[in-house]
Amino acid sequence: MPGPFTDDNDAAGGLVAKGAPGDNAAPLSISEISALLKRTVEDRFGFVRLRGELSGVKRAASGHLYCSLKDDKARIDGVMWRGQADRLPFAPEDGLEVIASGKLTTYAGRSSYQIVIERMEIAGEGALLALLEKTRAQLAAEGLFAEERKRPLPYLPQVIGVVTSPTGAVIRDILHRLADRFPSHVLVWPVLVQGQGSAEQVAAAVRGFSALAPDGAVPRPDLVIVARGGGSIEDLWGFNEEVVVRAIAESTIPVISAVGHETDTTLADFAADRRAPTPTAAAEMAVPVRADLLALLGELAARKRRAILRPVSLGRERLEARVRRLPRGEALLQAPAQKLDELSERLRRGLADRATRAKDRLQADPARLSIALLQLRVQRAQDRLDAARIGPVLVTQRIAGGRDRLDALDRLRRQIDPRAPLARGYVLVVAPDGTMVKNRATAAAQPALALEFSDGRLDVLPVEGGTSPRRARSRRDEGTPRQDDLFG
C-alpha cells in the first residue's frame, strides 16, 4: 500500500533512497530511535508496581539478579542491581508470586523493555506460605527434620548458650526463669532477630557456639537456645531461611528452638532437637528445678540410710531371737558336770579295784618276793651294767655339765638375792610381819619397822611429820643405842 509520500509507481521503494517532494525528516539511526523510546518510556512510566510470578531467576557473578515477571497472558523482563538484591529478606525463586516496584526502561541491545526492580516483596501471606511449604518439603526430603537426628538434651547443663537479641524481653525472661529453677552459666550471642541480615547472624551464632573449643578461654555451651518473641509470619521469616535451618541441623550442640509463641511455627522448630512453645518454656526445658533435686537427693539419702540400717536392724532382731532360744550357761554345764562326776566316781572305784587286785596277786604269789629271786634280778642288772662298759669320760662329762648348770643357778641366785646388796651399804625395811616394805605410804602405816643391815637388824618407829628423832629398842639388845627415826 503506498505511503503518503510515494506514488503508485514507487510504492516498494527505489533502488537508491531519494528524498520525496516535501519530505524534510531525515532518517533516524537505530540508536537514536532506541534512545527516544527509552526516554519516552521512562518519562511515562517513572515508577510502577507490578504483580506477577517469577520466572528464569538467576544471579550473575556480579551479584545482579535477573528474572522475568509473568502472568497468564504476558511477560516482562526484570533486573535488580546487586545493592538491592543483597538486601532482599528472602531468596527469589521460580514460581514465587511477588510484587516488584521500580521503573520501566528499555534495553537497546535487544530492542526490549524491562523493569529495573528497586524493591521486591512476596505477594501476600498465601504466597509466603506457599514458599514456606516448598522450602519445608525440600529440606525434609534431605532428612534435616528426621526424628532419628534428634538428640537428647543434657539433664543438667553447666553452660547454656542463648542466641537472641540482647535488648528484648526474651533474654530477661530466660535469665529470670533460669535463676528461679537452677542458676546456670549463660552465654548470650547477640543477633538481629528480624529484618535484613537476621538469618545470617542467627546462623553464624549457632555455628560459632559449635566452633568453640571445649577447653578454650570461652566455655563451650552444653546446650543452645535459639529464641525470639512472637510476631507475624513476616517478623519470624528469618527463622524460616534455609541458612538458619541448616546451621541448626549441623550444630554439634543440642538446640532448643523457642521462636514466637505457642501457635507460631518456623522451620527452625523442625530442625531443632526440641521445640519450646515460648522462651520461658525453653528455660524450663533446659534445667531442672534445684529445690526438687535437693528434695530428691534428700529422699535418696534417707532411702540409702534405711537400706544400710535395715540389714543391721534385721540382724539385731534375729540375734536377739536366737539369744532368747539359747539355753542358759548353767544348763549347758549341767550335763558335762554330771558326766564328770560319774567318771570321777568310776575312776575312784576302778583305782580301788585295781589296787585290790594287785594286792591279791602279790599276796597270791609270795615266791616273786623271795630273797633268792631278788638277788638274781640284782645280779642280772649288774651283769647288764657291766656289759654296758660305762667309761669314766661319760660320767665326768655329765658331772661337769651338772656342775656348770649348778654354778649358773648359783650366780643367778646371788644376783636376785635381796640381801646381797646389804654388803654394799643398802638396807632392807621389814614390817613386823616379816614382809619387805617397798614404799613410804606402806612404811608410814606400820606401827614399827625393822632395818636389816649386813651385820644385824635394828628396830625403829615411824613418825609422820615429826621434827625430833625417836628411838626404839632393839629386840636383840636393850642396851644398844637407838637409831634416829628415818621418817622424822
Query: Is 363 or 291 the better-scoring residue by pLDDT?
Result: 291
What is the phi/psi pair of residue 57, to 5°? Answer: -70, 130
Could you report the per-residue pLDDT of 298-344, keeping only the tens digit for each? Answer: 999 999 999 998 998 899 889 888 888 887 777 778 888 888 888 99
Rounded Cα gap, residues 116 and 389, in angstroms: 151
Rounded Cα gap, residues 22 and 25, in angstroms: 9
Domain boundary assignment for the chain: 30-122, 149-288, 370-416, 419-488
Residue 338 CA, distance from chain mean position: 68
Looking at the domain covering 30-122, what would its CATH class be? mainly beta
Domain covering 149-288 in this structure, CATH number: 3.40.50.261
- Which among 276, 266, 104 has a CA at the least distance from the CA of 174? 276
What count of other Cβ atoms lies within 10 Å of the Cβ of residue 267? 25
Rounded Cα gap, residues 431 and 281, in angstroms: 99
Rounded Cα gap, residues 171 and 114, in angstroms: 47
Same topology between domain 30-122 and domain 149-288: no
Rounded Cα gap, residues 186 and 177, in angstroms: 12
Residue 421 CA, distance from chain mean position: 77
Q: For a pLDDT cut of 70, what percent of the chain falls above it?
A: 86
- pLDDT at residue 487, rounded to an integer: 47
101's enclosing H/E stretch is: strand 97-107
What is the model's pTM? Answer: 0.48
What count of other Cβ atoms lies within 10 Å of the Cβ of residue 276? 22
Q: CB of 220 within 8 A of CB of 254?
A: no
Rounded Cα gap, residues 178 and 156, in angstroms: 12
Residue 188: band (very low, low, confident or very high) from pLDDT cuts 50, 70, 90? very high
Which strand ranges, in their side-by-side order, compose the sheet holding 456-460? 428-430, 449-453, 456-460
What is the phi/psi pair of residue 361, to 5°? Answer: -65, -40
What count of other Cβ atoms lies within 10 Å of the Cβ of residue 488? 15
Identity of the highest mean pLDDT range in 185-189, 235-239, 421-425: 185-189
Could you report the per-residue pLDDT of 256-272, keeping only the tens digit for each? Answer: 999 988 777 888 999 99
What Cα–Cα distance (Å) separates residue 413 from each residue in 124, 434, 453? 129, 21, 19
Could you report the per-residue pLDDT of 419-460, keeping only the tens digit for each? Answer: 777 777 788 888 888 888 888 888 888 888 888 887 888 888
Rounded Cα gap, residues 287 and 256, in angstroms: 12
Q: CB of 221 within 8 A of CB of 209?
A: yes
Alpha helices, DSSP H, located in 389-455: 392-416, 440-444
How is residue 140 written as a grid cell? 525434609
Rounded Cα gap, residues 193 and 226, in angstroms: 10
- pLDDT at residue 299, rounded to an integer: 92
Which residues, including other chains, have CB under 8 Å from residue 102's CB and lie 6 or more apart?
A: 47, 48, 78, 80, 115, 116, 117, 118, 119
What count of other Cβ atoms lies within 10 Å of the Cβ of residue 167? 9
